[in-house]
Amino acid sequence: MALRRIALHYDCISPYSWIGFEVMMRHSRMWNDPTVRIELKPTFLGGIMKGSGNKPPGVVAGKMVYMGRDLQRLNDFTDMELNMLSDPFTTLFKKGSIKAMRAITAMDMTNPEVVERVSIEVWKQIWIHDRDITDEAILMDAFTSAGLTKNKAKEFLEMAGAKEVKNKLKENTEEALDAGCFGAPSFIVRQDGEDDKMFFGQDRIELLCHQLELPYHGAAKEGKIF
């Protein structure tokens, strides 16, 4: 079977990115199939929104109310523990995630093996504990919880300000825009001799599985490791 690569574009500012990331990684562990390779792509969702002319769901009042309930239902379904933010407007639109996503991009460039665990710890800070991920102490806490030494963690925070790291995050974001993305999570399936196929949203993993003839396991709880 030819290699199928799935680029998973995500931003830790986005709770649906977390759910999509978690459910996809669980599936990947259950498939345990060397012909399917997940490529984690830290991405800047603000750049996707601007580049595609899209608007975040928070601008329609009823959608924000619904989102809180939808997240609770997804918690129940997936066995995750997301909480609504106390001040979504400030957290999502004023503070954002650029520093966190740059630090994760720095890790991806030098220690890709830590990216999954660190991304999850950053999501936990914002989407479980309602903490400010623009605060370096919070990020340090997330990085060390993921198993990084304090020195290593500091190093990545410094690298976040480097030009090549900033460029790499921009590159991942442009890669997503070029594939037609307008939000996150987005999954780009690449296969030799076939057109790239972009799937948008945590709820399209079922269709992605169907397309690749891989079994869909719903919440895929057997693949849960963290």
Catalytic residues: 14
Query: At residue 6, what are phi and psi to the nearest 5 degrees?
Result: -120, 105
Strand partners, 81: none
Neighbours of 199 (CB within 10 A): 21
At residue 220, the 3 state secondary structure works out as coil
Binding of residue 92 to its own copies (CB under 8 A): no
Encoded one letter per residue, x for contact with its own copies by CB under 8 A and - for no contact, window 48-87 reads ----xxxx----xxxx-xx--xx--xx-xx----------
Binding of residue 178 to its own copies (CB under 8 A): no
Query: Which window, 13-21, 81-89, 90-98, 176-184, contacts its own copies (CB under 8 A)?
Result: 176-184
Nearest approach, Cβ of residue 187 and its own copies (Å): 12
At residue 38, the 3 state secondary structure works out as strand
Binding of residue 144 to its own copies (CB under 8 A): no
Binding of residue 213 to its own copies (CB under 8 A): no
* Total residues belonging to the chain: 226
Nearest approach, Cβ of residue 7 and its own copies (Å): 16
Give the distance, in angstroms, between the CA of residue 41 and the centroid of all CA atoms in the same chain.
8
Give the nearer residue to its own copies in terms of CB position, either 168 or 204: 204
At residue 188, the 3 state secondary structure works out as strand
